[in-house]
Every structure is written in C-alpha cells, then in structure tokens.
Amino acid sequence: MRQASRRLLRFAAAAAGLGLVPWPGIAQQTFSGATDVVVVEVPVQIVKDGEPVRGLTANDFEVYDGRKKVPVTGFEVLDLTTAAAGTPAAAQVPVSARRHFLLLFDLSNSEPKAIVKARAAALDVVRGLHPSDLVAVATYSTLQGLQLVLGFTPDRQQLKTAVDTLGLPKLIDRSPDPLRLVLAQTQGDISSRPARSMKDGFAEAQAGKDQAVLDTLQDFATQSNRAVRTVQEQQLRTLTKSFTDLARLMAEVEGRKYVVYLSEGFDNTLITGRVKTQDEEQQDLQKRTLDQNSVITTTDSGEESFGNTRSQNVVEKMLEEFRRADCVIQAVDLGGLRAGSDQAPQHVNGKESMFNMAKSTGGELYENFNDFSAALGQMVRRTGVTYVLSFQPDGLKPDGTYHKLRVELKNAARGARVVYRPGYYAPRPYKEQPVMQRLLETGSDVLGEESGAIATSVLAASFTASGDHNPWVPVVIEVNGASLLAGKQDPKLPVEIYIYALDQNGSVQDFVTQTVGLDLTKAESGLRQGGLKFFAQLALPKGSYTLRTLVRNGSTGASSLRVTELAVPGKDESALLPAFFPEPPGRWVMVRQTLRQGQEQMPYPFMLKDQPFIPASKPVLAPGQEAQLILQGYNLGAGDLKAEARVLSADGKEVPGGDFKLGGRDGAAAGPVRLVASFRPPALPPGDYRLRVTLTDGGGKAQTSIARFAVGGAAPPRGSR
C-alpha cells in the first residue's frame, strides 16, 4: 500500500477567509476556516526469530500517545525486498520508512592511521546497504567540534568523496550546496580531464590523499593525547555537548536512524573512576604522611578514584537525547586498525565508553569492521519491512515538548519483538528552529515525495549545446503568489528554491539553489496578481533523470516539492520537446538564476523567428478556445511532418475530441527544428490534463512528447503541479 509521503510532523494549514486572486480562466478560489493539523508518523518493525514479520494490518496495532490510546488514521507497509536494487522504484521509498546512517568519524579519540584505514572499510560497509538507504558523513574533533561533511543522500559517489576527504578543506573545493547533498561537483572536472589520467593517476592521487589526511589528523590526535586529566574532563563535556546537539538534530530526521560511531572512545574512568594498583595506593599513603616540616598534600580530589559526577550527568543527558530521538549508536572500535608500533593501547579505557554509548541506545559495540559488516547485513534484512502508523494528536501545542509513544501488537506471536520510536517532539515555529535543523529538514523534503501547501508548476526540457558541452536544461518554475503569501509574512520575504537532478543511480548530476529576497512593500501586489516565475539552467549528460524542485517560504517554512521526469537525449539523437505554450508578459514577478562562479550563461532558449517568448509551466486553457503553441525538436528528419495529438486525463486515459493544427517549419532535417501549431481543447471538465503530440517524418520515423495543461472553470487544487 502506498500513500503520499508526509513528514513525521506534517502541517496542513489553510488561511481563514483568504481570497486567492484567480488565474486567467479560473474562478476565484477561497479558503475558509483556519485549521492546523499535525500528523505523527510512527515507523514500526516487528521481528521474530531474527526475521521481519509480514502480512500485518492496521487492526493489528494499538498506539498510545502518552497514556491515551489514539486512533490510527493512516497505515502504510513498506517491504524493501519488493523494490529491485538499482531501479528508480528504490528511490520512491517514503522518507519516513527509509533507514538513515550517519558515519561519524571521531578524529580526536582515534589514532590517525586507524582513521585513514577506516575510510575504505566504511565504504565497503555502505556497499551492502539498500539503494533507498540514505547515508551522511560527519566528523568530530575537540578543535572544530561536530562538522557535517555530507547530508543524508542516496548519492554513493558523493559519499565516497566525503569519506575519502573527511571534508578537509585542503583536499577538496567544496560545492556551494547549502543542503550538503553535494560535497563536490566532479562532472565538469571529469569531462575536461584526459581519459588517460582517470586511471593512470588514481593510485598516486589516492596515496597522496591518504598522506594529507594523516598529516591533518595528527594535529587532532596530538591535542587529545597531551591533555591532562582536568583538560580531558573539559574535552569530554565538549564532546557530550556536540553529541547532544547532534541527537536533537537527528530527532528531526524521518525514518530509522543509526549513528555509526567510528572511534577508539574516550577514557571511561573520567566517569566511573579508576581502581588504583597497590603501588599507587602505597604512594598515596606516603603523600599523606606528616612530619614536623611538612603539611598535608594530595593530588587526588576523589574524582580520579570515583569519577566526576558532572561528567556522569552530561553523558547520561546525551544518551537520553539519543534515546528520545530514536537514534541508535552502532559503535565500531578502530583500535584494531592500527599497524606496527601503533598497536600499543593508547585508549585503554575507550572501549568501555563506546560499549556504554551503544548499549544505552539499543546498539552494539563491534571490535572490527568484519563483525560490523556481518551484523549490518542482518540488521538490513531484519528491518526490511516497515509499518508506518499515523495519528493526529489533539490540542498539540507548538512548544517543542517531548511526548512519549507506545505501540502494542494485538495477538502477538510468542517471541515477536516490536521496535518503534519511543516518542516525538511537538513542532516549533519555523523561525525558532536551529539553522542546521532547517537544512536537514529541507534535505529530507527534497528526497521525499510530492507534497506541499504552495502551488507550483515546473517545466523542464533538454536543449543541445555547442561543441563538447553537455546538453543544457532550462527549468521554469511558477509559484502561485497567493499560496506563497498565505499566513503571516514579514516585509522581507525570502523564497528558497532548490533544484536537484538525480540520475537513475540516485547520484546528483547538477543542482541549483538560490534564495530570492522579495520586498513585499513593492512586490506583494504583483505576487497576488500572478506569482513568482523563476528561470534556471542545468547541464546534464545523456540519460534519464528525476528533477526534484523544492520551493520554501523562508519566513513561515511552508514548502512544496515537485518531481519531474526528464530524458536527455544524445547530441545526434532525434527528440521532440514538450509543447511550449507562450503567455503574455506582465503576469509574473520574473527572476533569473544567479550563476555560480565559472558557470556559463546559456542563451535564452524560448525563441521563435528571433523573437523571445515566455512559456507557461502549466498553461490554463479554456474549452473550445484556440491556443498557440511551439514545438521544438532535434533531428526530426526530412520531408513534411505529420502531427497527431491526443488529450490524456490525469489517470492516463485518452479523451476524444480537440483540434490540433501544425503550421510552418523552421529548421532542416538535421539539427534544431521549430514549428508553430495551434490546439483547441475539447469540452473538458476543469482539471489537469496532458497533451501528447507525435510527429512523423516522411520515412515513418516518429517522435513523441507530453506537455501538461489545465482546463479552467474551477480552481486547481492547492499545491497542484
């Protein structure tokens, strides 16, 4: 069973008495009755004898919000074994049911040579994960604190770059991606690099990279090893503060969450105290001996023997935050990765601290990567079936408080174990959320399914470029102004726009991110009359892509995600782009992408006889009223072209009627071709439709494209494509 993806805390808000300015040909749309609906999703796994239990229904579960039993309003089943690895279907797994793995490299509590070796072992582990699993990379050091190197992403190539470099500035020119889904863009570098160097220089480059990482990590390790006990206690408190902040961020991440902690651990005697040897006890006794010329002196305040109470408290507070976040720590001891003289134990009590962190959050301590890889394979199989239960809490205050959850399985078989998140946090106003929390939430939204309260439409088409450049893809985003302005707004409105092009392997091939600052004292009238129209460009090699376009109101946090399928043909291949419907100027607040440094501005693509036109992302047509459109393609063949057009309903069924006429041609048999056409839609009820156009050349070769359009007479649903 599949439903629309939702956030763990998902808001559906409608403004009271908000009259939306109608689009051309659309009756006025009004929302009345203010409502705030919070949907809490609870991913649940049922395990018996080490295997997932299948075949359960919503009637098999009971959910308790605190002590109150609540009705299950939504139910979804995800079985990862039904999605073939490496297929686009794997990317359609709801984020709420995905597994998230954060690879956390502890640079201060690990020997540098162990960290260098751990990188390759960590990548081997990742290869055993399901394609839908999301992985992030972070580092910790006493000098820099917690650093998020790469956000949760399915892109295994970006992951390899992140692990290889650990985000060290001297090893990488960081991508300007604010969501950190892309660490470095390698597409342009690779395409311009001689083919010989790609293989011949790899070993030399990797060896140099390993040495550079090792040199940098020596600084972190030296600072930690030289610290006296009092400084170590302060370092421990710094670590727990950083990890507590991490746990709170992980609480905002949807789905199952695991921190793979790669370290040799901190000295556990800072918490538990240390049992002294007989020689040390004798020395303490001698220090306490009094004579006529001495006073009592002691170097032990009791903390070394019995531990530091403050340290004990901060560690327990940290672990409680991880438990509340439903985040499991899987600890991997890196001590076994040392070599030669490094085998001497320098973190003699670190293993105990790692064991405590893992066990206290439901995880395990693994002595080496081989053990961890085997255990991870079992865990991946055990958590392969997820039941997502949803409920709507009543009277939930937006104050960020924690609420306990309990899930029970009715008529459970003996030995069945129920695994679920222990609680959830009430939402907080968007402006009160930490910056990193916003970034993680936005990254999660980008990788989710279509949703949102802002009405947006996306048009994308592939155009060939000159020379050896990759084809380029202009992207036109229309944002309905009234839905963008819903709710209380500041005079300065930041509109955040994110576009990511993912190939069939889940790798990000190109992206655009930009915040458009709008002064509502000047732009509000124009926005309410139409909206915002944003022009962007991507450069993509031949292939099939999924464009993920997220628009967010930076003041209220309201957002909208649109997912667009895109095919980029090769340079000499035949292709027909979706029909472009020109619209008159003056309707939109127009904004063009600000290019990154070194990025080439491509010429304006929407032209007819040297005259530019503005295309509609999803035109609104009137039944029986003729509309002009432009067809553009490549290598469409010689001779007269015959055209056939069919109207398809939202469910893909053909709708009879309509009149389509093909006009003059601009272009030869090879290369770009433009044609003018007209389309008169049949008598259609209001709603969303698609226009399928097929052009056939004199030799019988056909090319087909599909364009979206809407029929007026009633308002499109809020948040429509």
Phi, psi of 313 (to 5 degrees): -70, -45
Report the candidate in 232, 466, 442 with the shortest Cα–Cα distance to residue 353: 232
| Residue 666, CB-side half-sphere exposure with 13 Å CA sphere | 11
DSSP state, 491? S
Confidence bin at 159 (pLDDT 50/70/90): very high
Does residue 399 register a pLDDT over 50? yes
More confident residue, 188 or 379: 379
| pLDDT tens sequence across 565-598 | 999 998 888 999 999 999 988 889 999 999 888 7
Residue 506 has which token pair?
Answer: 């889940």
Q: Which ranges of 226-308 would DSSP assign to H, the alpha helix?
A: 229-250, 269-272, 278-287, 303-306
Does residue 657 register a pLDDT over 50? yes
- Does 3.90.1150.10 match the CATH number of domain 97-263+308-382? no
Query: Which residues, including other chains, have CB under 8 Å from residue 372's CB and lie 6 or more apart?
Result: 125, 260, 330, 332, 366
CA triple 444-241-177, angle to 5 deg: 30
**Beta strand segments in 326-447, E:** 327-333, 365-366, 385-391, 402-409, 417-420, 423-425
What is the DSSP annotation of 295-333?
----S--SHHHH--HHHHHHHHHHHHHHHHTTEEEEEEE
How far is 264 from 242, CA to CA, in rounded Å?
A: 17
Distance set, CA 3 to CA 94, 167, 447 (Å): 9, 37, 16
Report the candidate in 463, 457, 611, 632 with the shortest Cα–Cα distance to residue 532: 457
Report the candidate in 361, 321, 332 with the shortest Cα–Cα distance to residue 126: 332
Residue 114 has which token pair?
Answer: 């162990």
* Residue 208 confidence (pLDDT): 60
Mean pLDDT of the chain: 80
How far is 555 from 496, CA to CA, in rounded Å?
A: 10
Query: Region 322-343: what's the mean pLDDT?
Result: 77
DSSP state, 375? H
In the block, residue with structure tokens 């992140």 = 162
552 close to 442: Cβ distance less than 8 angstroms? yes
Confidence bin at 532 (pLDDT 50/70/90): very high
Query: Which residues, including other chains, have CB under 8 Å from residue 713's CB and lie 6 or more apart?
Result: 25, 26, 27, 622, 623, 685, 686
**Cα–chain-centroid distance for residue 403?**
25
* Residue 408 confidence (pLDDT): 94
- Does 2.60.40.10 match the CATH number of domain 450-711? yes
557 close to 437: Cβ distance less than 8 angstroms? no
Phi, psi of 268 (to 5 degrees): -70, -15
More confident residue, 477 or 156: 477
Number of other CB atoms surrounding residue 61 within 10 Å: 20
How far is 217 from 144, CA to CA, in rounded Å?
A: 12
Mark residue 446 as left, alpha or beta (left: phi above 0; alpha: psi -120 to 50; beta: remaining).
alpha
**Cα–chain-centroid distance for residue 309?**
39
Confidence bin at 22 (pLDDT 50/70/90): very low
DSSP state, 463? B
Number of other CB atoms surrounding residue 46 within 10 Å: 24
Q: Which ranges of 447-484 would DSSP assign to H, the alpha helix?
A: 481-484
| pLDDT tens sequence across 264-322 | 988 887 777 654 445 545 555 555 454 444 444 444 445 454 456 778 888 999 999 99
DSSP state, 453? S
| pLDDT tens sequence across 354-370 | 999 999 998 889 888 77
Run of H or E residues at 634: strand 627-634
How far is 406 from 704, CA to CA, in rounded Å?
A: 53
* Residue 138 confidence (pLDDT): 94
DSSP state, 162? H
Crossing angle (nearest 10°) for helices 202-225 and 156-165: 50
501 close to 510: Cβ distance less than 8 angstroms? yes
Residue 552 has which token pair?
Answer: 């967010």
How far is 257 from 241, CA to CA, in rounded Å?
A: 20
How far is 258 from 100, CA to CA, in rounded Å?
A: 6
How far is 633 from 463, CA to CA, in rounded Å?
A: 9
| pLDDT tens sequence across 545-563 | 999 999 999 998 899 999 9
| pLDDT tens sequence across 115-153 | 888 888 888 888 888 888 899 999 999 888 999 999 998
Give the chain's length. 721
How far is 371 from 272, CA to CA, in rounded Å?
A: 28
Report the candidate in 56, 54, 60 with the shortest Cα–Cα distance to residue 79: 54
3-class DSSP assignment, residue 585: coil
Report the candidate in 121, 144, 334, 115 with the shortest Cα–Cα distance to residue 210: 115
Does residue 494 register a pLDDT over 80? yes
**Cα–chain-centroid distance for residue 402?**
24
511 close to 181: Cβ distance less than 8 angstroms? yes
More confident residue, 480 or 35: 480
| pLDDT tens sequence across 502-512 | 998 888 999 99
Residue 150 has which token pair?
Answer: 């790469």
Run of H or E residues at 527: helix 520-529
How far is 80 from 10, CA to CA, in rounded Å?
A: 24
Domain ranges of the chain: 9-95+389-432, 97-263+308-382, 450-711
Residue 192 has which token pair?
Answer: 């311009």
Number of other CB atoms surrounding residue 653 within 10 Å: 8
Report the candidate in 689, 591, 596, 693 with the shortest Cα–Cα distance to residue 642: 693
Residue 92 has which token pair?
Answer: 């359609």
| pLDDT tens sequence across 54-112 | 999 999 999 999 999 999 999 988 887 775 444 444 455 667 778 899 999 999 888 88
